[in-house]
Copies of this chain bind each other. A is one copy, B any other.
Amino acid sequence: MTVSVKEVAQRAGVSVGTVSNVLNHPERVSEAARRKVTDAIRDLGFVRNDAARQLRAGRSTTLGLVVLDVRNPFFTDVALGAEDAAAAAGLSVLLGNSDENPERESTYLDLFEEQRVFGVLISPVGDVGERLHRLRERGTPAVLVDRVSADETTSSVSVDDVEGGRVAVEHLIAQGRRRIAYVGGPFAIRQVTDRLEGAQRAIDASPDAALEVLTTHGLTVLEGRRIGEQIAARPAARRPDAVFAANDLLAMGLLQALVMQGRVRVPDDVALIGFDDIDFMTAAVVPISSVRQPSRLIGETAVRLLLAESEDPSVERQRIEFTPELVARASTGVVAEDQRNSGA
């Protein structure tokens, strides 16, 4: 059924070793032999069996990336950055979607480990320190993405979520808002907690501001819509005058629910700010303010750190933390002259 090196060797009239050399070390092979072998490969339609190759090599040329939610453009952007950087190093990326579910996360890690992937990038749901430790002991390096590493053994690439949260709420306060709601969850996700902490700091710095926390079951448009409906249903006096959503998908859902009911005006009644600054924010009913993360760069950097660690496992671990950037738009009362040029 499948053509193997042996058959190629036979057809070309050389040994299997020579075939392998043509494939992997062409400089060691004479012009004539190379010709014969490449011809035979073409004629027979030979395709290298990666499993056999890996078995011998001990490690694959694939790296695994586990994200919290593939539907979130932030993560597809991270994946894109990772893919680029990996491709440049001759690696490819296997993308897993944990859907904020620790079990699925664990399943993907198992899968990656069985595959002896080159390395793992992960945006974890819960605490994976122990897990990554074991992985590394068995020779698979790992890098945390969008989360600061808790110990010295793991590199990480992230954004200062606390600062991001602080900046977001500071901005809301600067716009005159005082009764602020934080929408996010579950709190097992570190980003959710950190952004809240940042929010709290900004509140603490402003004596007359108050923070209310509304918990969601996930960071999705649907959950945002649910909370938005709750807020819209309240009597006007009991509504917050600003909402900081833990990410843009939530913000999107919130906006839909608030505006479409027609009862709440954004930003007049309620200001709104999200987090991530995904491309779609500019095009929202009311362009939504957000806190921008350099998503592609995060992916690229994570791969770079992974490569460094894999080349020299004793290399010092790095915790790279980017500083997020406030992007103010109409949803927080800033008249947006917002022709930003995102993308390439």
A-side residues, CB < 8 A to B, are 1-2, 45, 47-52, 54-55, 58, 60, 70-71, 73, 76-77, 79-80, 83, 92, 94-97, 108, 110-111, 113-116, 134, 137-139, 220-222, 252-253, 255-256, 260, 279-280, 282-287, 338-339, 341-344
Contact = CB atoms under 8 A, between A and B. Distances in A.
Contacts of A253: 283
B138 A2 contact: yes
A341 B342 CA distance: 30
A343 B256 CA distance: 15
Given A76-B70, A138-B45, A116 B285 contact: no
Contacts of A49: 55, 114, 116
A128 to B, nearest CB: 16
Contacts of A58: 2
A343 B220 contact: yes
Contact of A283 (B79, B111, B252): B252
Contact of A83 (B77, B97, B114): B97
A79 B83 contact: no
A267 to B, nearest CB: 14
A188 to B, nearest CB: 20
Given A115-B50, A343-B221, A71 B77 contact: yes
A47 B344 contact: no
Nearest to A56: B51
A76 B80 contact: no
B343 A47 contact: no
Given A45-B134, A51-B54, A221-B279, 5 more contacts: A48-B114, A50-B51, A70-B76, A221-B343, A252-B280
Given A48-B114, A49-B116, A287-B285, A71 B71 contact: no
Contacts of A282: 256
Contacts of A96: 92
25 contacts: A1-B138, A1-B139, A2-B58, A2-B139, A47-B113, A47-B138, A49-B55, A50-B114, A50-B116, A51-B52, A51-B54, A71-B73, A71-B77, A71-B80, A80-B97, A94-B95, A222-B341, A222-B342, A222-B343, A222-B344, A260-B338, A283-B285, A284-B284, A285-B285, A285-B286
Nearest to A60: B51
Contacts of A286: 285
Contacts of A138: 1-2, 45, 47
A58 B49 CA distance: 9
B71 A114 contact: no
B283 A256 contact: yes
- The 9 lowest CB-CB distance pairs between A and B, nearest first, are A51-B54, A50-B114, A51-B55, A95-B95, A51-B51, A280-B280, A222-B343, A50-B115, A70-B76
A179 to B, nearest CB: 24
